[in-house]
Amino acid sequence: MTEHLHTPLSDVSKDANYVASPTTDSSEAKKDDAQTPHPIFVEVQQNCAISAEQLKRYSDPDDLPTDTRTAPDLDVGFGQQRALKALHTALDIKASGYHVFAAGENGLGKRTIISRLLTRIAADETTPDDWVYVHNFTDPRTPLALRLSAGQASLLQQQVNHLWQHAKKRLGQRFRSDQYQSKIEAIKNNTHQKESQAYEVLNAEGKQYDLALTFRPFDNKAVFVHPSKLTVENEGNDNKAAINNHERTSTAEDRLEADTLDLNNNANIDSDNAFGDSNYGNSDYEAELSNFAQKNHMQKRLSQLTIALEQLEDEANDAIEALHRSIAQRALEPLFTPIYEQFTAHPLVIEYLKTVFSDMVTHVERIVNGDDEEFVTAALATTPSRYAVNIIVSHTPESGAPVVFEDLPTHLNLLGHVEQITQLGTVTTDVSMIRAGALHRANGGYLLLEASHLLEHPYAWQGLKRALQSRKIKLSSLEQMLTLTGSLSLSPAPIELDIKVILLGEADLYYELLELEPEFDAVFKVRADFHDDVSRTSEHELALVAKMADIIDYADLYPFDSSAQATLLEHLSLQAEEQDRLSLHSDLLIKLLHESNRHARLDDQKLVTADHVTQAIDDMDERSGYLRDLYWDELKNGQQLIQTKGVAVGQVNALTVVSYADSEFGMPARLTAVIQPNIGAGEILDIERDVDLGGSLHAKGMLIMTSYLRALFSQHHALNFSASLAFEQSYAQIDGDSATVSEGCALLSALANVPINQSLAITGSMNQLGEVQAVGGINAKIAGFFDACREQALTGEQGVVIPMANVKQLMLRDDIIEEVKAGNFHIYGVYTLSEALTLMTGLPIDTTNKKDRYRKDTLFGKVLSRLMLWDENQNSGDDIDDEKKNKKSKKNRKAKHHKKAPKRKKDTLKKTKKDPDKTDDKQISDAEQHSGIEKSIDYQEKIRPVDIIVDDT
């Protein structure tokens, strides 16, 4: 018995209401009845037909502005009242953690709406304070953070820069002045005079011991020597001149060196050799010893004098430093006094300036000399880093709160960082290299971030969370975080944080963050949901026209007339997949406006019309239709097997949507069902699922359909079959439950051996009660099958069967609507699977008689008939096999009996002769009995089981 039957196309009637009957009869009357549509089919067809007026909702250009130049003013929060209400709630609460996650699809214009709203709110708010970092003279590794009123940071930086320039110039002038030089000379002369007097006193004391004070030429050190060892040249000179000039000849140098060595090293040697040498006597020895003691005494006196002279030199240096400080103070005080007066409202700034003043006075020599890197201006700066005022954030007074969007939210860009410079292999940094982050710039205002971008960068979320929880911005080295070590760097003082952060992202990302980040809900306590569409009312249509006008003005495009506006609104309804809804995707609208403006410019038109918008839509559709064109090429070449006319058993044209990247289009797919009778207990093999090409939603739809069928027939008869379902020529992933109705039609067609009209395609989801539910992508699905039918020639019988719940979502192309009006294409909406099956098969589905049994001419009645037929055939086959087995066994027993008892054979023959009638009757009875069984089987095969369980009335 064939379960997968393809009816020849020649058997299909050209009448739109014709449905082929599964049985044929030789009489002409039977043929006429077979071609006559069933009344129930006619009724269902009339009730389910969708009129052309229901296929699209048009906008009346007369209800719209003449062109976008006369459009009403834009309402920033149009269509997003729920989100804006949540946003206002978060902004009004100053408690910690009331930050916002704006959830919605990309392209809705969330950032634009929020930015405009925040800009309006921020304009009336107080301008936040400025922040600067300055050098910490107590702990240079920890720069100080100073807070100033708005606009004061730039003023402080400017004043300090001017202060440095004037201070350096004035100090240079003072230290080059004659007055300064004369004071220095006076200090030096006074010190020199005291030194000379001390040397003279010591020299006079040495003369008492016949010793002269002189200076060694090689180290200019004062020593005492015998006068005889001085040069002849110096003997006539005054000792004062010798002491003052510290001049010695080479001869004196040699003798002085020899004399010093003699005094320090040879005293003991002379003492030891005095008694053994005949040249020395006791008197000479005593004289030499006395001379040595005198020299030693004077040398000690000289050492004491040296210490006193060093103290005298220190006093001179202190006097010079005191002079420098005095000069610096007198020079700098007039420069600092005006700055003090400008920042009297900021005590910390006054304290810092006083510290700068003290530091400049203390290091005035290094400033004037300019030989120290700390007091030298860098290449790209006007002030040494020691006195630099690094502006972290500065605001214009009365400018309101800042609104900042950070498009690259890395850890460094959010929290700021400290730069470093490498010179000759040495890495250095200073307070001038501290760089602000987005939190610094938005402090006191609002910061917008893309949530997905934030999560892409290491430690960015952790840094943001820590700052919002502590309400302080603390710069930390990312190098130390990544390596757990790091080079010595600055650790700037933290800055107080007062900010509202708005994260922008999709709803799925929000749920993932809630699940994976335990503290996320504590930091972002408010969720603002942005809608994808808005109800299509006259008020909202005008609001969308105002949005168009705003985009047109911003982009400097040509104005759009009322017909162009209407066409755009209709396309936005198509994108929303709802007649009574309008899409709010700004990206799509902006793209359409720009491309429509291009076509108007190419036509040398200054006003954009509906034709230009239509051309732009067609261009966009063509650009994204590469894969669709490949499919249609395969359909033309016969590589894709799609049948749009005729009938077939267990075969349905299912409507699907192909989505790839930004390309989405509808296409029909052949769905087939095959039945294996008397194998299994109603199991249905989902081939797509078993090969991992079917998704979970597709599997759910299959299970729902299976449960429905089991509940439908198992109460009447056991399901003695197994089946398999597959999408033919499908090699990609399949998901969704929109093919559930298609699968039910194909399976029931195969079970009942009733053909399905291939001129119709069907889509729809189904629940366990047999009710048809709405599906997505309905417009693309209809367009896909319509294009396939047009490719294979429209016959006037083709159409689609869709859920009645999807009728309000129809926004079909105008060419499809024209063919529906002409009767060349049909669209039906159904509520139940039974209605869909009636349209597909032309038969009543589940009508019952008074005994609540399915009539034999219904689809369900035919299914039950076949289930019982398969059961009867199985049982009859088993009876025949048992009879043959018994007959063979009986013959074997007879043969065995004849071999063992030959004598009894004769007796049996004799008895047979005596009573032939009895033997003949027995043999005839056996033959008749066997023949009767065969006749009974033949009779049972000819009788249809449905005649037994179904009442003809």
Q: Which two tokens stand for residue 618?
A: 């067609």
For the stretch 815-822, contacts whose Cβ atoms lie closer than 8 Å and that sit 24 or more positions apart, written own/partner, are: 816/55, 816/782, 816/783, 816/786, 817/52, 817/55, 817/56, 819/786, 819/794, 820/52, 820/55, 821/52
Query: Cα dist. 552→68, 545, 559, 570, 595 in Å?
Result: 8, 10, 7, 19, 12
Distance of alpha carbon 3 from alpha carbon 926, whole angstroms: 39
Question: What backbone torsions phi and psi does residue 471 show, to the nearest 5 degrees?
Answer: 60, 35
Buried b (16+ CB within 10 A) or exposed e, 717-743: bebbbbbbbbbeebeeebebbbbbbbb
- Tell me which DSSP letter residue 714 carries: T
Q: Annotated catalytic, 738?
A: yes
Distance of CA 340 to the CA centre of its chain: 50
Burial class of residue 353, CB neighbours in 10 A (0-12, 13-18, 19+): buried
CA 440 remoteness from chain centre:
24
Q: How far apart (Å, rounded) are the C-alpha atoms in residues 89 and 443?
A: 20
> Hey, what are 735's tokens?
């998901």
Instruction: Kindly provide the residue ranges of all beta strands, DSSP E only, lying in 253-409, ordered along the sequence.
Output: 389-393, 403-406
Catalytic residue among 547, 781, 856, 862: 781
3-state secondary structure of 280: coil
**CA gap 468, 442 in Å, rounded:** 13
Using alpha carbons, list the distances in angstroms from residue 589 to 94, 545, 594, 596, 661.
37, 11, 9, 10, 19
H/E element, 658: strand 651-660
Q: Is 151 exposed, middle or buried (0-12, 13-18, 19+ CB in 10 A)?
A: middle
Catalytic residue among 738, 742, 749, 834: 738
In whole angstroms, give the CA distance from residue 650 to residue 480. Answer: 69
Q: Rounded to whole angstroms, how far apart are CA atoms 505 and 450?
A: 6
Q: How far apart are CA 745 and CA 821, in angstroms?
A: 28
Please provide the DSSP assignment of 378-402 as one string.
-TT-SS-GGG-EEEEE---TT----
Q: In the beta sheet, which residues pair with residue 435? A: 417
Within 13 Å, how many C-alpha atoms sit on residue 949's CB side?
A: 17
614-653 exposure pattern, b = at least 16 Cβ within 10 A, e = fewer: bbbbeebeeeeeebbeebbeebeeeebebbbbbbbbbbbb
Distance CA 802, CA 48 (A): 10
Q: How many helices (H) and strands (E) does the chain have?
A: 35, 29
Cα–Cα distance between 782 and 657 in angstroms, integer? 10
* Residue 367 near residue 171 (C-beta atoms within 8 A): yes
Dihedral, CA of residue 315, residue 317, residue 321 and residue 322, to nearest 10: 20
Q: What is the DSSP string of 584-642?
A: --HHHHHHHHHHHHHHHHHTT-SSB-HHHHHHHHHHHHHHT-HHHHHHHHHHHTT-S--
Residue type, 12: V
Q: How far apart are the first and last CA of the chain?
A: 29
Helix (H, G, I), strand (E, B) or coil at 566: helix
Spell out the residues 6+ positions from residue 548 whose beta carbon is closer than 8 angstroms to its own: 68, 71, 560, 565, 568, 589, 593
> Annotated active-site positions, please?
738, 781
